[in-house]
């Protein structure tokens, strides 16, 4: 299943974990504790985003096999689902997307 999900990997414009800042900087006592929490949140959110992305890709591709336009649409929608799921998950974990 992981190989199938690789076909709908995030687009270049997808947010990365380093683009998020902790909403409450006083939440963790040490830099190590904060970094471990960030890594945990990133890994958890990446897995949720890939799963959601693969589901969308599979649903769109099920409409018609072999259609190039449909493949491009599936890839685009899967990338959008990855980005939105990852961002929402990071927000829920207490991280905000940096602007600019």
Residue at 41 is within a domain: yes
**More reliable by pLDDT, 81 or 64:** 81
More confident call, 42 vs 14:
42
Give the number of domains in the chain. 1
Q: What is the pTM of this model?
A: 0.79
The set of residues, in sequence order, having a beta carbon less than 8 Å from that of 23 and lying 6+ positions away, is 94, 95, 96
Cβ-Cβ contacts under 8 Å for 27 (sequence gap 6 or more): 34, 37, 94
pLDDT of residue 11: 46
Classify residue 14: in a domain, yes or no. no
Predicted local distance difference test score (pLDDT) of residue 2: 37
| Best CA proximity match to 10, nearest among 89, 78, 85 | 78
**Cα dist. 26→34, 44, 92 in Å?**
10, 22, 17
Beta-bridged to residue 20, according to DSSP, are: 97
Does the residue 59 lie in any domain? Answer: yes
Q: For residue 68, what are the domain limits?
A: 28-94
In a domain, 38, yes or no: yes
């Amino acid at each position: 299943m992981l190989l199938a999900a690789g076909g709908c990997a995030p687009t270049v414009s997808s947010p990365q974990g380093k683009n998020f800042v902790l909403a409450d900087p006083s939440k963790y006592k040490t830099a190590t504790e904060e970094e471990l929490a960030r890594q945990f949140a990133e890994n958890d959110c990446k897995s949720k985003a890939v799963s959601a992305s693969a589901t969308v890709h599979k649903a769109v591709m099920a409409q018609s096999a072999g259609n190039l336009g449909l493949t491009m649409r599936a890839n685009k929608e899967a990338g959008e689902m990855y980005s939105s799921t990852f961002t929402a998950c990071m927000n829920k974990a207490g991280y905000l997307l940096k602007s600019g």
